[in-house]
């Protein structure tokens, strides 16, 4: 059985390194004893430290009610090799099936929230809903990371970016411009 | 002189194709007769149609005041070839210099806002600030796209993704999974 002890704790003030590149994410919830997971490309970092994220989960998403009622989720970052599974997760509903079972995902208990981590993902971020003031108007949730984890067996994976039309870019060449980051040295 | 007539109008209900992949963006403003431009990686799509975006611009950014006072900006998406310039734009301040001049950027008048388009970028989105209710707490602006444009000479460019540490991934292999997008056919 996989536990968070098999993962590497990721510093909370470095959560932006997991999310800022704009990867497609999975968002997991646990509500009334049932785990669910959705695919999401509408999210961003809001603040480096203490970290804050935002994401859009609509009333049309089965996860919406779980997120509202529990105020908790796990944001997971899959490597690009999971592309087909990631798309399939986003094209069926937890109202109809158990997605963890259907897609052979391994739910790992977190430390701070009831929602499950996804063991197959490169990174997992345990979050609590921090602000719901824009949920009614725009389905926009602010998420506060409470714990973050990476899989030590997946070093520097290629991430997956949805181009908004069913095509996806995986990370290609990495450009190192740290020398030019004169104003943002504390991020390096 | 380049005008929007040299660009291709991009449908507003397809703005997500420009932004959802998580590219580093430029954000331009015009305030009291001065153009300015900043680099930004904290942004997302909020709604497909009518399109809505969000981005974080902090009080520490010189563009903050321009954005608040004018309620307008242009979000531009550079191709990965502009990486060094994009980073340099983000590591100096419009308080000290004219960045359009310094970086040889071509300011193009838009149709709907006073802020300039950046001719060198693949895509340009003219935006008005639609909601400021989370600006005080999180510097989070909601932006409503009013016009969107792409450069017909830049077809399907590789985008640039900040990995949060001064390294950047450029788009690599494109994966076509349209066949699996059974639930989201209207996006294709």
For residue B161, give the chain A residue with the closest CA. Answer: A21
Q: What is the pLDDT of residue B41?
A: 98
Q: Are A136 and A127 in contact (CB under 8 A)?
A: no
Q: What is the DSSP letter of A94?
A: T
**Residue from the list B16, B47, B172 with its beta carbon closest to the beta carbon of A170:** B172
Side-chain-side CA neighbours of residue A92 (13 Å): 16
Best CA proximity match to A180, nearest among B142, B108, B162, B66:
B162
Angstrom distance (rounded) from CA B109 to CA A50: 38
- In this structure, the dihedral spanned by the alpha carbons of residues B152, A40, A89 and A69, taken in order and rounded to 10 degrees, is -160
Instruction: Give me B185's structure tokens.
Output: 């056919």
Give the gap in angstroms from C-alpha A1 to the nearest C-alpha of chain B: 31
Q: What is the pLDDT of residue A188?
A: 87
Say if the Cβ atoms of A180 and B22 lie within 8 Å. no
Q: Are B76 and B127 in contact (CB under 8 A)?
A: no
What is the residue-wise DSSP string for B81-128? GGHHHHHHHTTS-TTTS-HHHHTT--EE--SS-SSPEETTSSEEEEEE
Which residues on A lie below 8 Å from B133 (Cβ)? 133-134
**Residue from the list A21, A84, A188 with its beta carbon closest to the beta carbon of B22:** A21
Q: Spell out the per-residue pLDDT of chain B, length 188, in tens.
A: 899 999 999 999 999 999 999 999 999 999 999 999 999 999 999 999 999 999 999 999 999 999 999 999 999 999 999 999 999 999 999 999 999 999 999 999 999 999 999 999 999 999 999 999 999 999 999 999 999 999 999 999 999 999 999 999 999 999 999 999 999 998 88
Say if the Cβ atoms of B46 and A140 lie within 8 Å. yes
**Residue from the list A46, A161, A182 with its beta carbon closest to the beta carbon of B171:** A161
**Residue from the list B18, B22, B52 with its beta carbon closest to the beta carbon of A161:** B22
Q: How many CB atoms lie within 10 A of CB B88?
A: 18
What ipTM did this prediction achieve? 0.97
Q: Spell out the per-residue pLDDT of chain A, length 188, in tens.
A: 899 999 999 999 999 999 999 999 999 999 999 999 999 999 999 999 999 999 999 999 999 999 999 999 999 999 999 999 999 999 999 999 999 999 999 999 999 999 999 999 999 999 999 999 999 999 999 999 999 999 999 999 999 999 999 999 999 999 999 999 999 998 88
Give the gap in angstroms from C-alpha B30 to the nearest C-alpha of chain A: 23
Say if the Cβ atoms of A172 and B158 lie within 8 Å. yes
Residue-wise pLDDT tens digits, A92-112: 999 999 999 999 999 999 999
Angstrom distance (rounded) from CA B7 to CA B23: 20
Which residues on B lie below 8 Å from A140 (Cβ)? 46, 54
Q: Are A63 and A95 in contact (CB under 8 A)?
A: no
Q: How many CB atoms lie within 10 A of CB B96?
A: 9
Q: How many CB atoms lie within 10 A of CB B188?
A: 11
């Amino acid at each position: 059985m996989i536990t968070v002890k098999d993962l590497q704790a990721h510093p909370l003030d470095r959560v932006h390194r997991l999310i800022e590149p704009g990867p497609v994410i999975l968002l997991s919830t646990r509500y009334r004893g049932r785990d669910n997971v959705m695919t999401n490309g509408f999210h961003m970092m809001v603040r480096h430290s203490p970290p804050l994220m935002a994401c859009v989960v609509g009333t049309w998403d089965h996860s919406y009610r779980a997120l509202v009622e529990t105020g908790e989720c796990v944001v997971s970052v899959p490597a690009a090799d999971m592309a087909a599974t990631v798309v399939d997760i986003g094209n069926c509903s937890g109202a109809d099936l158990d997605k963890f079972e259907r897609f052979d995902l391994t739910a790992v208990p977190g430390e701070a929230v009831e929602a499950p981590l996804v063991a197959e993902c490169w990174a997992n971020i345990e979050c609590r809903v921090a602000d719901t003031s824009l949920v009614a108007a725009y389905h926009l949730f602010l998420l506060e990371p409470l714990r973050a984890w990476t899989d030590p067996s997946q070093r520097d994976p290629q991430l997956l970016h949805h181009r908004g039309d069913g095509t996806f870019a995986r990370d290609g060449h990495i450009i190192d411009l740290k020398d030019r980051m004169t104003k943002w040295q504390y991020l390096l």
